[in-house]
Every structure is written in structure tokens, then in C-alpha cells.
Amino acid sequence: MIDQIIEEHHKANFSKFVTRFKRPLNSEHAAEDVVQEAYARALKYKDSYDPTQPFDNWFSSIIRNAFRDALNEERGIVREELNEFNHESLIDDAPMEDLKEALRDSISKESEGYQVVLKLFFFGGYTGREISQVTPYSQTNIRQIVLQFRNKFQKGYTKD
């Protein structure tokens, strides 16, 4: 059903979105790429769509993010995707128990709500979507919590 909604939305709105983004991107081709990327993301993340909410609101956030990412890419700023984040790569050859202990220690310094999110992500293996279903945080908030924590952890963790 969501695939059909996305397809119909694409047919009805593709040109409108290209027109909207052509000027700020200074290129019709770049605008087409942004709009196509947004629809590809909509299909990729279709499970995050809540059918009780307006489709246009959900898609607006996707296309806005695709547009922002295109501008950032043009400026040389690369956005890091949470689902591409491999937290096992934080430490090359550190013993796993040392890494777990360092993670536990760093997580314990976060707020109680963040601790729950971080423990579920790093130790429970839950996805952002799954965590958002059992906590008051949205998937976007969870992505930010994990990425910010990871950046802090990388800066603070040193190998002996």
C-alpha cells in the first residue's frame, strides 16, 4: 500500500519539487537528483511511515533532508548515516571486554533516558526504529543521540 502511495505521489509531484529546488541548487539536473533521492529514501524507509499521520508531512521531512544533504555535499560536508555506523570499528585491536567496559562507563555518565537508548543500541543490538517504539524518542532523536555519543566516545577513548 505504501509503495503505491509513494508511486502516486511521485507521479503527481515530481515536477513540482524539481521546480522548487532548481533555483537554490542552480541546476535542474541537481534538483531532479534531489527529488529522486528523496523518493528512493521514502521507499527505503517506508516502514517508518505512520499511516495515522499525513503522508505529505512524512515525505516533506525526507525531501528536506535530501535537499540539505545535497547542499552539504556541494559544500564538501558529508552526512553520516546511522545505519552505516559500525560501532565495532571504534577500536581496532582493543580487547572486546575493555571496549564494553569503556562503553558502559561512558554511557553511565549520560542522562537516564539517553542511557536506555544507548544500552539498547550498543548492547541490545536494537535499531533506531525498534528503540523509538519503546522509548519516548523519535528515530531522528535516537540517531542524534547515538551519533553524538559515538563522537564523544571516540574522542575520549584511548587505547593503552
pLDDT, tens digit, 9 for 90 and up, residues 130-141: 888 888 888 888
Give the domains, in start order, of the chain with CATH numbers: 2-74 (1.10.1740), 84-156 (1.10.10)
**In whole angstroms, what is the distance from residue 130 CA to residue 146 CA?**
14
Output the nine-digit C-alpha cell for 141: 532523536
Model pLDDT for residues 79-118, shown as the tens digit of each residue: 545 444 444 444 444 566 777 888 889 999 999 889 999 9
Could you give the CA distance from residue 91 to residue 103 in angstroms, rounded to a whole number? 11
Looking at the predicted structure, is the pLDDT value of residue 46 above 80? Answer: yes
Instruction: Please count the other Cβ atoms lying within 10 Å of the Cβ belonging to residue 29.
Output: 10
The C-alpha torsion from 129 through 135 and 139 to 142, rounded to 10°, is -110
Rounded to whole angstroms, how far apart are CA atoms 66 and 41? 8
Instruction: Name the residue among 85, 128, 123 with its Cα closest to residue 104.
Output: 123
Q: Which of 67-71, 106-110, 125-129 has the highest mean pLDDT?
A: 106-110
Pick from 5, 8, 4: which is nearest to 54 by CA? 5
